[in-house]
Amino acid sequence: MRGLADSITGFLDADERGKDREGRVLARRRVRRLGVEFFATQDTRRVECVRRLITTAVGTWGVEELEVAVKPAPWRRRKVPYFFHAPQGLRGDGDARPPSRRLTKLTLRNCPPAASLRLLGALTTLVLHDLPESTQAFVYDRLFTSGFLHLKKLHLKNCHCMGLALVVDAPPSSTVTELVVDRCSFLYIDLRNATSLEDLACIDNEKPLLILFKNVPCLRRVHLSFSANSGAYVADAQYPLLPYRYNLDWLLHSDRISSLVARFTGPERWVLPAQVSTRLRNLRRLLIADVPSTWDISWPRLLLQAAPSLETLHVHIAQARRPAEEEHAAADQPPGRREIIWPPATFRHRKLGELVVAGFGRTLGQVRFVRYVVKACKALRRVELLRHGEVRYDGLWEWEVARQQGGERHWSKQVELVIKKQILCGRNWFREDVEVVLG
């Protein structure tokens, strides 16, 4: 830290070329992005040196994207918290382009933000990484109530907290439209007031989160990626709500969603085959991705029955196995992997027009699911079954399902005819208006 402080001081002093008539420092540097990484310390002189660098970069060099990473000192027994404060003197008095309006993206690693962050009036993206377990709940609460003028995207990655809930209680003037919770320790998210929120992603979590959709009138796109181990159904005294999260009603209790990505995995199927009481009236596009080949893939019919306006259904099966192996493994399966026994139903869907199944292995469960969709969806005209298929993501919200490059055709002509007959023909029905494409 002593060497870093001396280097920064010399670096800054060499850049100063004097001042103009109004007393502003003239600098030769123009920097768009800056990353600063240092060890946590209680030495005031060294901390002030880093603050001077940040203030100069944002106020003079015109930095638009700033990343501050605080590394924990392994030789210290007691952790030294370092709160990031807005650079001093960035009010921009008398400047046609105030310095505080240049910084648009801020990334903080192991460095909780202070309340003064609201002075960065042009901030549109805030990313928080690796906040420790000692972080108080109010640190997250004020992210939504501090009065950011232009904040659009808020990402929380591997963040921890002393509390169990992430409460979003934003004022009507809030401009946050995108919230990403990635590998965080929260047990549930309370969307109490999020009137501007349009995109929500909860990804790479080891346990399903309980999401309370209360006031989210603009929510349109949701991306959920959860995994649960074999002990998912065991009640825990510390987390009493845990067993109830695996009912889809607790994950999708909102009728505003128009696009949904659901990536539910685990050694055993933890999604309960219980009817979804919430009507997903606006859902148009649905992707069920990374489904383990050992699961009964028919559970998405719960979402199909709850979404009367669904137009596109994509299903991706990970690591599909051959039918012989599947039948041999089915003889001794735990309860989480057994076939779901559905009661007889006369359900009919009138909007779904496209079904794509990637990783199709022609197992009995997969054929039954596709057969059910073909029979129940009257508007369905095209079914695409890809043996070697993959999902190509464009960010968190957009995707396409396509055949893997280099993947060879798996089915012979004779097998293709058998598959089409299994899917299109029933005891007292036949869909000759549906095109089945195998790849």
277: its two tokens: 């009481």
Going by C-beta distance under 8 Å and a sequence separation of 6 or more, which residues neighbour residue 351? 308, 309, 310, 311, 379
Q: Provide the whole-model pTM.
A: 0.86
387 vs 93, which has greater pLDDT? 387
SS3 letters for the chain? CHHHHHHHHHHHHHHEEEECCCCCEEECCCCCEEEEEEECCCCHHHHHHHHHHHHHHHHHHCCCEEEEEEECCCCCCCCCCCCECCCCCCCCCCCCCCHHHCCCEEEEECCCECHHHHHCCCCCEEEEECCCCCCCHHHHHHHHHCCCCCCCEEEEECCCCCCCEEEEECCCCCCCCEEEEECCCCCEEEEEECCCCCEEEEEEECCCCEEEECCCCCCCEEEEEEECCCCCCCCCCCCCCHHHHHCHHHHCCCCCCCEEEEEEECCCCCCCCCCCCCCCCCCCEEEEEEEECCCCCCCCHHHHHHCCCCCEEEEEEECCCCHHHHHHHHHHCCHHHCCCCCCCCCCCECCCCEEEEECCCCCHHHHHHHHHHHHHECCCCEEEEECCEEEEEECCCEEEEEECCCCCCCCCHHHHHHHHHHHHECCCCECCCCEEEEC
258 has pLDDT over 90: yes
Distances (CA, A) of 193 to 16, 172, 177, 189, 218: 47, 8, 12, 12, 11
Q: How confident is the model at residue 246 (pLDDT cuts 50, 70, 90)?
A: confident
Q: How confident is the model at residue 80 (pLDDT cuts 50, 70, 90)?
A: low
Distance of CA 259 to the CA centre of its chain: 13
pLDDT at 160: 92
211 vs 325, which has greater pLDDT? 211
Q: How confident is the model at residue 17 (pLDDT cuts 50, 70, 90)?
A: low
Q: Is 89 left (phi over 0), alpha (psi -120 to 50) or beta?
A: left
pLDDT at 23: 67
101 has pLDDT over 80: no
| CB distance 45 to 5 below 8 Å | yes
How high is the mean pLDDT of the chain?
83
In this structure, of 35-39, 285-289, 333-337, the range with the lowest mean pLDDT score is 333-337
| CB distance 166 to 186 below 8 Å | yes
Q: How confident is the model at residue 77 (pLDDT cuts 50, 70, 90)?
A: low
pLDDT at 199: 97
| Residue 385: φ, ψ to 5° | -115, 110
Read off the pLDDT of each residue in 126-149 and give the average, rounded to a whole number.
88
Calpha distance 156→179 (Å, rounded): 8
Domain extents in the chain:
257-439
pLDDT at 408: 61
